[in-house]
Every structure is written in C-alpha cells, then in structure tokens.
Amino acid sequence: MSTPHTFVKARLPTPIGPMLVVTDERDQLRALDWEEYEARMHRLLRLHYGARGVTLTDGKAPLAVRGPLEAYFDGELGAIEPVVVETGGTEFQRSVWAALRGIPAGETLSYGALAAKIARPTAVRAVGLANGANPVGVVVPCHRVIGANASLTGYAGGVERKRWLLSHEGVS
C-alpha cells in the first residue's frame, strides 16, 4: 500500500479558462488540468497514487510553478521548461512524457514520430494512450502531438484549447 500524499490544489486564470494546478510540499507539479475536467484529474491522481493515496487541500500555487505558467501564457514560451514535474505512471508512460518535454514550443510531432523518438516505433497506440494519460498537460506538452496527416487529434482539454495552445506557440 502506498503512503498517502497531501497535495495543494490551486486555481490559476488563463486566457483559455481556469486551470487547476496541483503541487506537493517540494513545489513540484503533480497534476495540471482545466477546471471543467477536475473529475478526470482526480481519476488520474487515483490511478497514479491509489484510491486513498492523495488528499487535496485548497491553496495557492507556489511561485516556482505559478510564475512560469503565467509567463508562458503571457508569451514567454520557454518559461515552463524548468518547472519540476513529479508523476506516477508506468516506466513507459514516464518515458513518453519525458519525450514530450523534448518537443520545443512551436514544433509538433506525430504519434509515430514520438514512438520512434523513444525507440519504440511499433508502439504508436501505446504512445497515444500514454499521451492521453498525461497528468500535467501544457508543461508536459501533449498538445504538440498531432495526427500523421497533421490533423489536430484529440486533446483532453478540448481541440479548441489545443488549437489555441499551438497557435500561441506559433504553429499554424
């Protein structure tokens, strides 16, 4: 049985709607989602830490996370790169999420290219599932993954948000 965690949940206004930011006692980002998807965020936290593994308390996001997110939405696209992320998930999922962080702002990759990047070229579907289970969107930029035909495939925060994020980063 895993040790219970207590994390702080904060709300952060953004140009595309209120964002929920979950951090731990070391100011590490544990989850990030859009306010209307709070139920999904709780489901992912349960998957990563167990049914009784997390208690959330309302509070303020630490400056180490809030500052870079605000700067990102103000146009400093690289500001989120140093945000420290700590996630659960499988080793495979964490490898996908690490590869996502390697996609620079303003660039996109297909699921196939992302699978090849982690040396698992036949794992395209598994990469897609790991991408969809990403608990810290925007900072771990799953929105930068697109379909093989350059289509905007699904995004947990909605395709319109994905379109906005990519446009914000200079992707046409």
**In terms of domains, do 76 and 95 share one?**
no
- Please give the pLDDT value at position 1: 47
Banded pLDDT at 144 (limits 50, 70, 90): very high
pLDDT recorded at residue 2: 56
State whether 159 and 124 are in the same domain: yes
Residues 95 and 164 in one domain: yes
Residue span of the structural domain in which 10 resides = 5-80
- Identify whether 140 is a catalytic site residue: no
Q: Which residue has the tokens 């146009």?
A: 75
The answer on 97 and 46 residing in a single domain is no
CATH number at residue 150: 1.10.10.10
- pLDDT exceeds 90 at position 3: no
What span, in angstroms and rounded, lies between the C-alpha atoms of 110 and 121?
Answer: 12
pLDDT digits (tens, 9 = 90+) for 99-128: 999 999 999 999 999 999 999 999 999 999
Assess if residue 85 is contained within a domain: no
What is the rounded average pLDDT for all residues in the chain? 93
- Residue 95 lies inside a defined structural domain of this protein: yes
Nearest to 124 by CA among 143, 106, 148: 148
Give how many domains the chain has, as a whole number: 2
Q: What is the per-residue pLDDT across 5-54, written as a single tens digit (0 to 9) for each?
A: 899 999 999 999 999 999 999 999 999 999 999 999 999 898 888 877 88
- Domain membership flag for residue 70: yes
Last residue of some domain: 53, 80, 107? 80
Residue type, 25: E
Catalytic member of 142, 156, 165, 166: 142
